[in-house]
Amino acid sequence: MTLRPVRPLQEKRGWAFNLAVPILKPALIATTSRTWIDGDKIPATGGCILVFNHVSHVDPLTAAHIVYDHGRKPRYLAKSGLFKNPALGRFLTAAGQIPVERLSKSAKGALDDAIAAVNAGGCVVVYPEGTLTRDPDLWPMTGKSGAARIALQTGCPVIPIGQWGAHNLLYPYTKRPHLFPRTRITMKVGDPVPLDDLRAKPRTPETINEATDRIMDALTALVAELRDEEPPAERFDPRKAGVRLTGNPEKKEKT
């Protein structure tokens, strides 16, 4: 299996990527096999948002693989707790990752940072569900508004990427990965989500919700194609279902 990327990286890697790529990429090649469909739809240059469905804690690594191998450095909205470790925090900051305080008013700071990154020509990866899907069959659930807000503010393209298979490598909230035989990871890159008509409208909750729904519809359609199954008629909503929004939903909250 070659280590050669599909499209060469145009920007400087920096020390964090110089350290991570020689370690993580061979590990992914050793433990996964890949089917990447329409990867050339990832913009080669310019500010953009890539949105993925979220089925496993290894998703950021498998997503980074397809993004990096198509010539872009991915910047993630990552939960702030990861930055509290001094060494890891320094590494993530050097790699251009953006800390976000989930379920708090401080999340707006991360949104502003993501907007600045896109306006500077960066490639920002967003998991619009905000966490691992709570849907019992791992379909995309209801989305958060972050990707929509960034797109409406910047005018950048939102590229949906449906992915399937990472849960077989590491199932949600389990600790032991299934390393061998190699896990098949399939990803399909879609066309930009049509949002131009919404950009001309006032930034109301209704407009933002419509943009979010379009993003989730595009993602769900790609996942349905990869799974060759019909998705649920209504997306799973953890709030309506009374499921905790962060952490393992099978564990009871501490009182």
Q: Is 21 a member of any domain?
A: no
Q: What tokens appear for 247 in the block?
A: 């952490």
pLDDT tens for 181-232 read 999 999 999 999 999 999 999 999 999 999 999 999 999 999 999 999 999 9
Is it the case that residue 252 has pLDDT exceeding 80?
no
Predicted pLDDT at 210: 98
Q: What is the pLDDT of residues 15-36, one digit of tens each?
A: 999 999 999 999 999 999 999 9
User: Is the residue at 245 inside a domain?
Assistant: no
- The more confident residue out of 1 and 146 is 146
The answer to whether position 89 is within a domain reads yes
Asked if residue 38 is part of any domain, the answer here is: yes
What pLDDT is recorded for position 1?
Answer: 40
Q: Is this prediction's pTM over 0.85?
A: yes
Burial class from Cβ neighbours inside 10 Å (0-12, 13-18, 19+) for residue 19 reads middle
- Residue 144 CA to residue 130 CA, distance in Å, equals 6
Residue 107 lies inside a defined structural domain of this protein: yes
Q: Is the pLDDT of residue 2 over 50?
A: no
Per-residue pLDDT of 83-139, as tens digits, reads 989 999 999 999 999 988 765 555 678 899 999 999 999 999 999 999 999 999 999
Q: Show the domain range for 58.
A: 32-173+182-237
* Domain total in the chain: 1
Q: At a CB cut-off of 8 Å and minimum separation 6, what does 37 contact?
A: 186, 187, 188, 189
Q: Say which amino acid occupies 76.
A: Y
pLDDT of residue 255: 46
Q: Is 215 a domain residue?
A: yes
Residue 209 lies in a domain: yes
Q: How many residues does the chain have?
A: 255
Q: Per DSSP, what are the bridge partners of residue 219?
A: none
CATH number at residue 159: 3.40.1130.10
Residue 251: pLDDT above 60? yes
Among candidate residues 126, 110, 141, the one with its CA nearest the CA of residue 245: 141
